[in-house]
Chain A
Amino acid sequence: MNDTDFIAAAPQDTRLLAQRIRCQALRMVTRAKASHIGSALSITDIMAVLYGGALRVSATTPDHPDRDRFILSKGHACVAVYAALAETGFIDRTLLDSYGTDGSMLMAHISHKVPGSEFSTGALGHGLPFGTGKALAAKRRGMGWRTVVLTSDGEWGEGSNWEAALFAAHHGLDNLLCILDYNKLQSLRSVDETLRLEPLHSKFAAFGWAVREVDGHDHDALAQAMTGAAWDPGKPMMLIAHTTKGKGVSFMENKVEWHYRNPTPQLLEAALAEIEGEGREAQVHA
């Protein structure tokens, strides 16, 4: 345990951070011939806003007891988290080169062995019950830190999530934020065609959660929704983030195939050129 006062990292330019995370994620997946790039690009803006200042975490004291806890429940999108941890100083950027290779700590589903990573997932429906336990522990001990769990949409087919949703509301865990990456595509077809979640907003409201909906690629809206000021006292907070699978790479957006495919070197170059082009535009407009 670290007894020093917690000092959160200084806020970053989240748009620039998102651009870097996108590029790193694409490079990692291409190099490792791994998959799930669509799922990683879908949450890149969320990761940038979280690690760019919304989460109270610090690379210099990654295990500080007063830090916020972040849990990636959709473990297959781990390249977005590894890239965020590298771009904010938790791990060395060169470590990303080892992703998915023999003996690397960066396995292709998020691992708790990576500095700054709280919990290993890969099987779906585990992050929210675990995060609920952390939030309950904080409540019972009067701790001020928050727990943030990022789930996918398809993962809400798991009964364990609904058990946790009941529990968190029943116990008034208003120190728990669940972000739902609502990109509306699962591994074979759309969510609507697979196991419909709608009406999602009113479902969570009926479960006793505070519910907000945002454009999951709008950094200002995300940042505003993630601050505790927007939450309801006595209720856990569900942030439904409407996202696009494969966001930022035109030929990957909304394409089911990019759940499993890995880019060829040529497609990687095309994707990087597109993202870096957009990045330059963003800087000009800023």
Chain B
Amino acid sequence: MRNAFIDELVTLAQAHDHIALIVGDLGYNVIEPFADRFPDRFVNAGVAEQNMTGLAAGMASEGYHVFTYSIANFPTFRCAEQIRNDVDHHRLPVTVVAVGGGVSYGALGYSHHAVQDYALMRSMPNMVIAAPGDPMETRACLRWLVANPGPSYLRLGKAGEPQFHDAVPDVAPGRWVSVRDGGQADVMLSTGGALGAAIGRADGRAVWSLPLWGMAAKPLQPDQIARHGSVTTLEDHLADGGFGSWLTEAVAGTPAAACIRPIALSAEICDMVAGQSTLNRVGGLTL
């Protein structure tokens, strides 16, 4: 997913000279294709994420679309106020990129896991959350974000994630993307890195992915849910403040609210050291 990101970003940066990349001293062996090709649009801000984010907002206010790049908590929670005040409130085209969504950094530990990031980002009124489920969705999300500049959050896995789409799908905020055909009465809906888990647990059910969402995409959800008897949501994130609760809020007070069955990581994995597959299994995401 990381490599699809940088490959697509380089392609987009060739066509758009306002795309810039700022890294927080991370991205060895990933970001070089951009840095080498566009040195005047690349910055290593050092180990200083708050400044990286304020800096990105300042550059964005002068016409750049800035991508800030680091691991999990560092470009997100570390600079939550800069994202809230400088980026989201000013509606500036800054895409906060977190590599290592969910527990993809496995045994590196809790500091390197992104399991509350949706909760933070979805509380910002103008923020579009881009949580692609495979490399093809990564390319689709990036193209959409560049074509629709604004405050956004791009949550990537690490590297080597399986590819589930044969081609780059069409995406738009709030629109479910079909991944696997199947029975439509009860369906699986995942976001981000939980797509593999959704396919693994589908058992004949149809699987959908929702790679682009956020506060503004809530109104589209009731109609989509109404087409199905039940919707099982999957996410590599804690249940509180996450994707399942976002969907539940979107239909709160309607009969559809009772149709949502959320599956998320249990909080016990926050105190565990283990690889990604073990954490996802112990946390209840995979069987």
Contact = CB atoms under 8 A, between A and B. Distances in A.
Interface of A: 112, 118-123, 125-126, 128-138, 140-141, 159-160, 163-164, 166-167, 170
16 contacts: A125-B50, A126-B81, A129-B50, A129-B51, A129-B86, A130-B58, A130-B86, A133-B56, A135-B58, A136-B43, A137-B59, A163-B50, A164-B55, A167-B46, A167-B48, A167-B51
Contacts of B48: 163, 166-167
Given A112-B90, A167-B45, A130 B57 contact: yes
Contacts of B89: 120
Interface of B: 40-41, 43, 45-46, 48, 50-51, 53-64, 81-82, 85-86, 89-90
Interface residues of A: mostly helix, strand, loop or mixed? helix
A133 B57 contact: yes
B55 A167 contact: yes
Interface residues of B: mostly helix, strand, loop or mixed? helix
A121 B89 CA distance: 10
Contacts of A141: 62
Contact of B51 (A118, A121, A132): A132
A137 B90 contact: no
A129 B90 contact: no
B58 to A, nearest CB: 2
A129 B58 CA distance: 8
A126 B63 contact: no
Contact of B54 (A126, A137, A166): A126
B31 to A, nearest CB: 18
A120 B50 contact: no
A116 to B, nearest CB: 15
A236 B250 CA distance: 48
B59 A164 contact: no
B50 A160 contact: yes
